[in-house]
Structure formats: structure tokens, C-alpha cells
Amino acid sequence: MIAFLLVAPYLVSAQEKSDEVMIASIYDEVLSNSTIYENLRVLCKDVGHRLSGSTGAAAAVEYTRQLMIAYDFDTVYLQPVMVPNWKRGPVEILKITNSKKRGVIDLNALALGNSIGTGPQGILAEIIELKGLSEIQERKNELAGKIVFFNGPMNPTLLETFSAYGAAVSQRSSGAAQTAPYGAKAIIVRSMTQSLDDVPHTGSLRYQKDIKAIPAMAISTKDADLLSLLLKDQADLHIYMENYAEMLPETQSYNVIGQLTGTLFPDEYIAVGGHLDSWDVGEGAHDDGSGCMQGIEVLRVFKSLNLKPKRTLRAVMWMNEENGSKGGKAYADLSESRKEHHIAAIESDRGGFVPRGFTSTGSAKQKQQLSQWKVLFEPYGLHDFDRTGGGADIRPLSKQGTFLIGLLPDGQRYFRYHHTEKDVFEAVDRRELELGAASMASLVYLMDQYGVEN
Amino acid sequence: MIAFLLVAPYLVSAQEKSDEVMIASIYDEVLSNSTIYENLRVLCKDVGHRLSGSTGAAAAVEYTRQLMIAYDFDTVYLQPVMVPNWKRGPVEILKITNSKKRGVIDLNALALGNSIGTGPQGILAEIIELKGLSEIQERKNELAGKIVFFNGPMNPTLLETFSAYGAAVSQRSSGAAQTAPYGAKAIIVRSMTQSLDDVPHTGSLRYQKDIKAIPAMAISTKDADLLSLLLKDQADLHIYMENYAEMLPETQSYNVIGQLTGTLFPDEYIAVGGHLDSWDVGEGAHDDGSGCMQGIEVLRVFKSLNLKPKRTLRAVMWMNEENGSKGGKAYADLSESRKEHHIAAIESDRGGFVPRGFTSTGSAKQKQQLSQWKVLFEPYGLHDFDRTGGGADIRPLSKQGTFLIGLLPDGQRYFRYHHTEKDVFEAVDRRELELGAASMASLVYLMDQYGVEN
């Protein structure tokens, strides 16, 4: 930081000195006295996974409500929201039935969220491999009656794993809708990860109105490689798919909200949190138990350090980010109908890994203000303040002019766990989780102290 | 990086552009084609742990020798080095014998490396708790006949975990030698970690000439807390210690060296690697299988990209860092006797975690040169280039004026695993390991290309 060191004497005011001291006390408090890691353990081990509409989701609502009451926040309440109610069903089968080399081969697979099932008759069909959606047009005449196998890998050379994910995930989210019109009977998708292993990654798909819904499953990357290899030798490979996934009618659920009411500007809100729902495998530890527990921890730190916020702070557990984002929309709609003004919202939904910075979406002035605070975070290892981003659950607040911010943790390990049975409590490191929470609390402190530009 | 962006147009020369391109191709090669993760798996799972003098250490020497031969390096050879041969022994017992609340309590414990054992008669003695070496003077008259329990924790609020380790580890390394003169019969030490769990962390101690050697064991942090709590209620707690640790005579071992000979300046050497020995629990995955495999990967990348180095590059697997550092000394001594000139050496011995920068020890000019290259590494997430450091195995090269460099990975998770049964292959992430190797290879590329300042 030579450039910074040279100009520092002119920049660091007495006020900034006191900010430094306050931020140090926030980090110290979290690293010394937090029970965030234990809270996450309870959410993962006692509640478990919690897809919208599940009993786990209901238990998570009650657990976080009680937790915030125990922390004695000023107000703790539920916000009703209707959510989709998708069920995986009791049995999932995906197998190659006629490999000349290997006979019948069971594949590691999970139905994609929101997909329909095959029912008990199953689907037996020839397989056709595409490397991505871009190949559909060229080969549209070959798809009828087939199971389409999307095998475009995440690019391992992209340092930003979320960029690699973004470039590949359309196969999962719209592969079914884009091939059904050409007569595809089902699709299977290479799991969204750079890891090479036996773990299938689920995740949501979207069907399109007036396009036939067809079943869709994800397979592990090792099985995707095996299938691709076998197809090179034997073009008439057949796959049998059977599962009982189904979308039930919408059901009642809730966002969970805890609040510390502002002493000076109670009508200016800062929301911070993550999404409470998770996929129905694993424990939703990184995605997004971590973000929820960090949101609660931010308010706990204010209580514990006896910081009376000037503005109203809310820890929000949004419901249903994974397969509908109904919680985020309901929160913003209700906020708007109440004429609330959220000056800022921070979402943590990239895992409980060591924090590297914040992404943001807002006005030039807002982004400049965030950038000026960077110097206060560099001693804690946060250097990355320039990227655009926010979070799926806070995006609907942008209509209020809310400054949208995402915690940006290191992303290298995220897609080992994302949407799998491996996303469990043990995959989260206590110090990394705590440092993320302390970073969020520090930024909330600064925004509460100085407000946010327009 | 606003400051940088403003001045960038004046700084980035055509040469730097081509460095950018070359570094991108190095990262791409490692992230796309490396087998470093599989190599580490073999070292961890097929070789296993490998304390100096053990059969595992001999197997590791042979494995890395064959691996570098298979990669077709110009020269691969062993460098003989005599090493200490410490054995843990077959049984380790540490228990509280007379808790009024709980009766007999087994404690999770490991003998400290280099320590003597109690032998079959064991040691039964009253326990006295100290928070650190600084309390010895004050309480020296209370130590006679006792087992001294050093319970100073690593400071969780220090962001730099290695600083917290450095501040606490003297209890382990010299607690025995400093209390034996006052009649202490043995010591036990709180494990060097911020984690609160049941896992004891071993590590080396040093006895002093003319001071009686007494047995020493580490206990898990949870057991340390328990013991401390029980002592508050019952000052006459007794501990029984039994183990069969012993130091056998020195034995023959080897540094393993692979070399790519320089085309223009073959007499200028750049060494890169880690230490091949590990503690005798776990698999030495982070400490320091990762560093060894990264050193080999650096040379493999040069081969694979057909980069003919101007200077001579060596991948070095130093033996015996953990309990004697004989390999590092032997390497430097031999190098000196051959009048070799190492312009630089890079050691990776802080775990296979995501890289954050490099530490260094050298002249002002050398450190300035490293600092100027920082801009090339920032796109890969490396921001930290200003700290002093190097590595235990390369330190003896400083007599040659060698620029000493340490890979600086993120340190938050290191002390969960350090010197424990938990330091296994599964604790290392493939991408994090690869990014460290690519960072080291990129820095070696720059130093090979431009040389190193004096």
C-alpha cells in the first residue's frame, strides 16, 4: 500500500481515528465473545435443511425468532409470505442401462429444484450430449425423444468462481425449457462445480409458460465425465430416469425480523442478513445459514457493546431465496406500503468464508462513500470494494433507492459445497464466519454513524 | 485501487503487459492441468505422516524423488542429512486422578516432540496452573514436585494468527527448560490453537544443556479449560502422566532436490519448496505436504509451458523442519561449500490455503522490487507484500545474500489443523492449493526473467 501510506497523513482525521478504534472493538467483541458458531451449529444440526414449505423451514423460523428474542432485540416478529412448496419425493434413480463396456451404471444424481418428476413409469431414452445452450439451435433436430445431457463445465481458470458459475448455470436454469420445444423428454445437467467428485449439486430451474415441463436432474462431475467418455464409444447409450419430484400448492411461511430501533433517525432503516431457506440436502451451512447467523450477530454486537444505533437496524432472515425469492419481494413490498426508507441493505449469501470485501449496487456517491471506508477494513484483510453486486433478497429494495451491499468472502471453496449434501456445519470455519460478521457489523456501524449518500 | 488506476497508464510498460500475459498463462496452466492435488493425495494417503527418522520420511523421500524424475526435471538427487530420531512411543496417558466432582478424567493429550518420556512408572503429581512463562518468577517457589500446567491461550483478537501463535508458543518450546530448575516434575501445555475442541496439538520443545529434561505433553483446549475450571474448586488436583517418548541416536535422511538448469545464468539459483517431514500424527497435509507439492509444481509448470529458465531453478524438499531444521542447514552449508549463489528462495510453510501475498526478508532494494510486482498479483487476490518473513528452511541461505520469501496464504484456518491428527488431505482445498502454486510459479518466473536486486 505504498500509494496509501504516502497520502495517509492527510487523510486520516480524528473522526477516522475514532472509527478505527470502534471497528477494532467490534472485531474484538466478535472474535472474543460471539456465539455465532454455536448458533450456526444449532441451525445446522438441530434444525437441519429447510427448503421453503418444509418442516425444517418452519423450525428455522421458530429458532431464529427465539434466538433474537433471547438476545433482547427491541422487536422480533414474523412477516407472512406465501412460498412454493416443492418436494423431491422418496426415490431418485438415474442410470445408464446399456453400456457395452460396463452394463448398468448407477449415476449420482439429484432432481433439480422446481422440476416435475417422471412418475413411476420413468423415462428410458437415448442420450445426447451438448456442451451448452448455444448448441441447441445447431442440433435441434436431434433432440426429439431424447434425454439431453448438458455437460458444459464451469471454467476453472476464472479466478472469480461466481463468474464461472454465472456462465454455466443457464444450462441448469433454462435447459429444460429450451429443449422441450424440440421434443426432448428430460434433461440431465453436469453439476455446477469445478470439483471433480461424486457429489451432485441441485439448484432451481425455471419452466416457461406454454412450454411443456420436462423432468431434470443434476449429475456429479465424475459421472458427467464418465458418461461423456462412454458416449464417445457408444452413441446409442440409454438412460433410465425415475423420480417423484412435484410442486405442491403454495404454502404459508415467514420472513423473520429482529430490530433495534434508531434513537435519532428511526425512520431510516438498515437491513442486514441472509436467506433462511436452504436446499433439501446437506444443512445449508454456507448457503445460507452463515448469512442469517451473521445478520443476527450484527445486532447482537450493537447490544453487547451498548451501541445505541441512530438509525433502525434490522436483522432479516429472508425466506425462499432458493426457489422463488418470495421473501425478498414480500419484504420490499411491505416496506414500500409502509413508506419505510431503507438507506442500505447488506446481504451475506456467498458462504461463511474469510471476508475479502463488499460488492455494491447504488449511486456513484454511494459507491464512493463505501470506497472511502476501505482504508478502515484493509487491516482486517478486506481489499475488494469495487465490484458490482448485492444480493437476491435485497434487490427488490432498489426501488427505494437503497444502497445494496453484498458481503464478499473468498470464493474459492464455495462451489465445493453449494447445493449439496456437503454443505454442513463442519465445512464452516469459526474464525472465517466471525470475521465476516465483524466486517458486516463494522460497515453497519459506519452507515449508522454517518448515514448513506443518495 | 483508485490510486493505482490513476497512475497506471504511466506505469504499465509493454514489458509489464507481456508479464501479465505470461502470469495469466501460468495460472491457467495450474488451474487447468495440474495434478498437484492428486500428488498431495498420494503423499498424504499412501505415504502418510513422516517425522524425521521414520519409515514414512524414507517413503516420502523416495516418492518425491520418483515424482520429479517422472516430470523429467534435468537433475533429481538426494542430499544426505543426519536428523534427530524422536519416537512418541506406544502409549500416552494423561489423566486427572482425584477430581471430587468427576473422579478420574482422561485428557486428550500428545507428548511434545523431542520430549523424554515418563517410562512405565509414570509421574503422579499435584498440578499448578500458570498463564504463561512470565508467571514463573513470581511462583517459582511453588513449582517443586509439581506438574506445571501452562494455560496461556492464543489471543483470538489478533487477526494474524501466526502472531498469536508466536506470542504463546514459548510455553511449549521452553516451558520445560524454564521450570525444571525449580523442581517441576513435568509440564503440560494448552494446545496452540484458537479452536475450542478435543484435539491436542503436538510440536517441538527445546531442552537446555545442563538443565534437567522433564516430560512434556500438550492437551486439547477443551481439556485445558476443564482442568482450569476444576482447579478453581479443588487446588489439590493430581495428574498422572505416562508415556514412552524417547530420542534415539541421529539417523540418515535426505533433502530431495529437483533442478531445471538455467540457460543463461546457470550459476544463479532460485530455490522453491517446503519441508518434507511432518509430525507423527495426521498426514502433514497443510504442514507441509502442500509446500512440497507446490515447489514441485513450480518446476512442472516451467516444463509444461516450455519455459526454459535463464537461471537454475530448484524444487527442494527440506527434511527435518519440525524438530531440528537439519535439512535447511545442510542445504545452505553444502551450497556455500560449492560457492553457489542463490539469488532467491521461496518457502511455502503456512498451509495450502488461498494465497494473500508474500512475506520477505532481504535488502531494501529487494523488497522494493517485490513490491513493484504486486500490481501483477492483485488480479489474483494477492495484496499483502509488505510483511517480514521467509521460512525456517531457507533462513540459513541469508549468508549468501539470498532474498528470502515466504508464500503468505490466508492464515485463519491454519491452527485448526497444525500439528494434529486433523491435518489430513481432506483439509486442503484443490483450488486454494493450486492458486498458491501458481502464485509461487509466477514470482519465480519474474525473478528468473529479471534477476533479483542486491
pLDDT, one tens digit per residue, over B254-302 is: 999 999 999 999 999 999 999 999 999 999 999 999 999 999 999 999 9
A159–B380 CB contact, under 8 Å: yes
Task: Please report which helix (H) or strand (E) contains residue A407, including its range.
Answer: strand A403-409
What average pLDDT does range B188-202 have in this prediction? 98
How much is the ipTM here? 0.93
Q: What SS3 string covers A257-320?
A: EEEECCCCEEEEEEEEEEECCCCCCCCCHHHHHHHHHHHHHHHHHHHHCCCCCCEEEEEEEECC
A31–B157 CB contact, under 8 Å: yes
The greatest distance separating any two alpha carbons of chain A, rounded to the nearest whole angstrom, comes to 76
Does residue B13 carry a pLDDT above 90? no
Contact A208, A102 (CB under 8 A): no
Among candidates B157, B159, B161 on the partner chain, residue whose Cβ is nearest the Cβ of A32: B157
d(Cα A453, Cα B145) in Å, to the nearest integer?
A: 67
* Cβ count near B341 (within 10 Å): 16
Q: For residue A278, what pLDDT band results from cuts at 50, 70 and 90?
A: very high
d(Cα B368, Cα A184) in Å, to the nearest integer?
A: 61
What is chain B's alpha carbon radius of gyration, rounded to the nearest angstrom? 23
Q: What SS3 string covers B10-61?
A: HHCCHHHHHHHHHHHHHHHHHHHHCCHHHHHHHHHHHHCCCCCCCHHHHHHH
Among candidates A32, A159, A429 on the partner chain, residue whose Cβ is nearest the Cβ of B381: A159
| Cell triple for A225 | 465425465
Write down the mean pLDDT value for chain A: 96
Tens digits of per-residue pLDDT, A348-358? 999 999 999 99
A28–B354 CB contact, under 8 Å: no
Judging contacts by C-beta atoms under 8 Å, the chain A residues touching residue B159 are 27, 379-381, 435
A431–B412 CB contact, under 8 Å: yes
What average pLDDT does range B43-55 have in this prediction? 98
Contact B319, B253 (CB under 8 A): yes
Task: Say which residues have a Cβ less than 8 Å from residue A21's Cβ, sequence separation at least 6.
Answer: none
Cis before A448 (ω within 30): no
Does residue B4 carry a pLDDT above 60? no
Q: What is the DSSP string of A338-364?
A: TT-EEEEEEE--S-SSPEEEEEEES-H
Write down the mean pLDDT value for chain B: 96
In 3D, which of B146, B314, B159, B378 has the Cα closest to residue B239? B146
Query: Residue A171's pLDDT is what?
Result: 98
Query: Residue A12's pLDDT is what?
Result: 52
Tens digits of per-residue pLDDT, B134-179? 999 999 999 999 999 999 999 999 999 999 999 999 999 999 999 9
B429–A412 CB contact, under 8 Å: yes
- Tell me the angle at which helices A170-179 and A161-168 cross, rounded to the nearest 10 degrees: 0
d(Cα B63, Cα B42) in Å, to the nearest integer?
A: 9
Strands (E), B304-443: 311-318, 341-347, 355-361, 403-409
In 3D, which of A79, A106, A80 has the Cα closest to residue A93? A106
Q: Which of A108-112, A276-280, B12-16, B325-329 has the lowest mean pLDDT?
A: B12-16
| Cell triple for B165 | 501463535
* Cβ count near B38 (within 10 Å): 11
Task: Please report which helix (H) or strand (E) contains residue B444, including its range.
Answer: helix B430-450
B435–A412 CB contact, under 8 Å: yes
Q: For residue A2, what pLDDT band results from cuts at 50, 70 and 90?
A: very low
The DSSP symbol for A26 reads H
Which 3 state secondary structure label does DSSP give A87? strand
A429–B435 CB contact, under 8 Å: no
Asked if A4 reaches chain B (Cβ–Cβ under 8 Å), the answer is: yes
Residue in B closest to A375 by C-alpha: B1
Would you list the domain boundaries of chain B? 2-84+249-450, 89-244
Which 3 state secondary structure label does DSSP give A117? coil
Asked if B332 reaches chain A (Cβ–Cβ under 8 Å), the answer is: no
Q: Which amino acid is at A256?
A: V
Among candidates B32, B371, B412 on the partner chain, residue whose Cβ is nearest the Cβ of A2: B371
Judging contacts by C-beta atoms under 8 Å, the chain B residues touching residue A385 are none
**b vs e for B264-294, b when ≥16 Cβ sit within 10 Å of the residue's Cβ?**
eeeebbbbbbbbbbbbbbbbbbbbbbbbbbb
- In A23-62, the residues whose Cβ lies within 8 Å of chain B are 27-28, 31-32
Asked if B413 reaches chain A (Cβ–Cβ under 8 Å), the answer is: yes
State CA A289 to chain mean position distance: 10
Tens digits of per-residue pLDDT, B104-139? 999 999 999 999 999 999 999 999 999 999 999 999
Tens digits of per-residue pLDDT, A323-350? 999 999 999 999 999 999 999 999 999 9
Judging contacts by C-beta atoms under 8 Å, the chain A residues touching residue B386 are 1
d(Cα A68, Cα B432) in Å, to the nearest integer?
A: 36
Query: Residue A13's pLDDT is what?
Result: 61
A157–B31 CB contact, under 8 Å: yes
Q: Which amino acid is at B162?
A: F
Ramachandran bin of B114, using left for φ above 0, alpha for ψ from -120 to 50, beta for the remaining angles: left
Task: Say which residues have a Cβ less than 8 Å from residue B231's Cβ, sequence separation at least 6.
Answer: B127, B129, B149, B237
3-state helix, strand, coil in chain A (%, to 5): 40, 25, 35
**Looking at beta carbons, which pairs linking B331-340 to residues 24 or more positions away fall under 8 Å?**
B331/B79, B331/B81, B331/B255, B331/B271, B331/B393, B331/B396, B331/B397, B332/B396, B332/B397, B332/B399, B332/B400, B333/B396, B334/B79, B335/B269, B335/B397, B335/B400, B336/B399, B336/B400, B340/B267, B340/B269, B340/B400
Q: Rounded to a whole number, what is the distance in Å from the CA of B368 to chain A's nearest CA?
A: 10
Query: Residue A10's pLDDT is what?
Result: 43
* Cβ count near A388 (within 10 Å): 11
The predicted model scores a pTM of 0.94
CATH number corresponding to B89-244: 3.50.30.30
d(Cα A438, Cα A297) in Å, to the nearest integer?
A: 8
CATH number corresponding to A90-244: 3.50.30.30
Query: Residue B14's pLDDT is what?
Result: 63
Ramachandran bin of A203, using left for φ above 0, alpha for ψ from -120 to 50, beta for the remaining angles: left
The length of chain A in residues reads 454
Among candidates A156, A386, A416 on the partner chain, residue whose Cβ is nearest the Cβ of B31: A156
Asked if A318 reaches chain B (Cβ–Cβ under 8 Å), the answer is: no
CATH number corresponding to A2-86+249-450: 3.40.630.10
Q: For residue B372, what pLDDT band results from cuts at 50, 70 and 90?
A: very high
Query: Residue A14's pLDDT is what?
Result: 64
The percentage of chain B sitting over the pLDDT mark of 90, rounded to a whole number, equals 96
B354–A410 CB contact, under 8 Å: yes
Among candidates A2, A380, A383 on the partner chain, residue whose Cβ is nearest the Cβ of B383: A383
Contact B100, B234 (CB under 8 A): yes
Q: Rounded to a whole number, what is the distance in Å from the CA of A136 to chain B's nearest CA?
A: 26
Tens digits of per-residue pLDDT, B293-308? 999 999 999 999 999 9
Mutation target vs A (from B430, B432, B435; most A CBs, 10 A cutoff): B430
Asked if B4 reaches chain A (Cβ–Cβ under 8 Å), the answer is: yes
Q: Rounded to a whole number, what is the distance in Å from the CA of A163 to chain B's nearest CA?
A: 14
Candidate CATH numbers 3.40.630.10, 1.10.3720.10, 3.40.630.30, 3.30.420.40; the one for domain B2-84+249-450: 3.40.630.10
Residue in A closest to B354 by C-alpha: A412
Q: What is the DSSP string of B108-161?
A: -EEEPBTPPP--TT-EEEEEEEESSGGGHHHHGGG-TTPEEEE-PPP-TT-S-H
